[in-house]
Structure 1
């Protein structure tokens, strides 16, 4: 009985070994799977990067030892803040909606002003 030669799904080289083997080595297997998942992985990586950047910007606005601060929309935008990305929304009893980037949030006030707050730990 002749065995049909299979080729590696990544590099195309002939495979030796088990009958059900698809790749010539671990490097080819990893490269192949990374390429298959690249689009979704890049999307998630870019979103996480933006969320972390937003969080760090909010954190930088609050003085050390303080829990809150005020700033303008122009300052946030100059620092590279992206208002489309946040992790969650909190609505207080007064009906104000705070948008959070992890543990730092912002509340839009009148006249392009924002209140920046350091949130409490929510577990």
Structure 2
């Protein structure tokens, strides 16, 4: 059961009455507060850029590898905007080949300027 009590808005400091769990005097203050808290500080902006690059790389690999394994030249990935500096993890295989993954989509070098695209099998 909620009782009406007088509180102060977290955004503007105005006194208001409302439910016990109410924190803002208006929707404008609620939105303003959350926008300020989630603003593009340097760290948040950096993380957003990295996550966007990873998502873009994964999307490109997924589009070019609909069947789970295919060969492709490096220039095709570059032409689509693939950024080779961003990947989520690597796996060193027994044969010495190094696989680079963007989440479940990956690649490894097969020959000069030729990559094999693979999809990681989920465990």
TM-score, normalization: structure 2? 0.70
Q: For residues 8-28 of structure 1, give each alpha carbon's deviation from its aligned partner in whole angstroms, at most 9, with x where no partner exists.
A: 664x5743349xx98533541
2:121 pairs with 1:120: yes
- Contact 2:9-2:16 at 8 Å conserved across structures: no
Q: For residues 44-91 of structure 1, give each alpha carbon's deviation from its aligned partner in whole angstroms, at most 9, with x where no partner exists.
A: 3332222121112112222x4x33111112111101101111111111
**Structure 1 pair 22–121 and aligned structure 2 pair: CA distance change class (3 A):** closer
2:57 pairs with 1:45: no
Partner Cα distance (2:50, 2:116) in 1: 24
Partner Cα distance (1:60, 1:29) in 2: 40
- Contact 1:68-1:118 at 8 Å conserved across structures: yes
The answer for the alignment partner of 1:76 in structure 2 is: 77
- Contact 1:57-1:76 at 8 Å conserved across structures: yes
The answer for the alignment partner of 1:102 in structure 2 is: 103
Partner Cα distance (1:88, 1:26) in 2: 42
The answer for the alignment partner of 1:67 in structure 2 is: 68
Q: What 5-or-longer segments of structure 2 have no aligned partner?
A: 1-7
The answer to which structure has the higher strand fraction is: 2
What RMSD over aligned residues (CA atoms) do the two structures have, in Å? 2.8
Aligned residues: 112
Indicate the SS of the match to 2:106: strand
